[in-house]
Amino acid sequence: MENTYKMKPDRKFEVKPVKELIETVLKEQLEEEKYDARASRQMAKTLSTIITNRVKALKYERYKIVTTVTVGQIADQGVRVASRCLMDQETDQFASGTYKNSSLFGIATVYGFYFE
């Protein structure tokens, strides 16, 4: 892309539609799944790719999309997932969604970083 010297996006990253998209994808993909330690790594990669592609289809121009997905087993234990990054409060946003069934849980977070 060529420099436009635009400091603000024409359309900001919207949290609500991205959150709904995340939860829809997680439900569609994990609803019938049973936890398998060996398959969860590939499952997380696949979910990340699907979610990233669907968010890119929403056409947030000049935004870098970063997606993280965690898939784990429900085994009467607590899990805390955290991340940190530098964000511009004016332009950058994130959306997060979760899904769980009797065997596993999935947590996905999508970050939208505006870039020039």
- Tell me the Ramachandran region of residue 47: left when phi exceeds 0, alpha when psi lies from -120 to 50, beta otherwise: alpha
Distant-in-sequence, close-in-space partners of 90: CB < 8 Å, separation ≥ 6: 8
pLDDT per position as a tens digit, 64-76: 999 999 999 998 8
Number of domains comprising the chain? 1
CB of 72 closer than 8 Å to CB of 103: no
pLDDT per position as a tens digit, 17-37: 999 999 999 999 999 999 999
Within a domain: 91: yes
Within a domain: 67: yes
Within a domain: 1: no
**Amino acid identity for residue 61 in this structure:** E
Rounded to an integer, what distance in angstroms lies between the CA atom of residue 51 and that of residue 29? 11
Within a domain: 7: no
More confident residue, 115 or 3: 115
Here the CATH number for the domain that contains residue 97 is 3.30.1140.40
Mean pLDDT of the chain: 92
**86: number of Cβ within 10 Å:** 6
Within a domain: 9: no
Within a domain: 6: no
Within a domain: 38: yes
Within a domain: 5: no
* Domain range enclosing 61: 15-114
Average pLDDT over residues 98-103: 93
Average pLDDT over residues 2-12: 81
Q: How confident is the model at residue 1 (pLDDT cuts 50, 70, 90)?
A: low
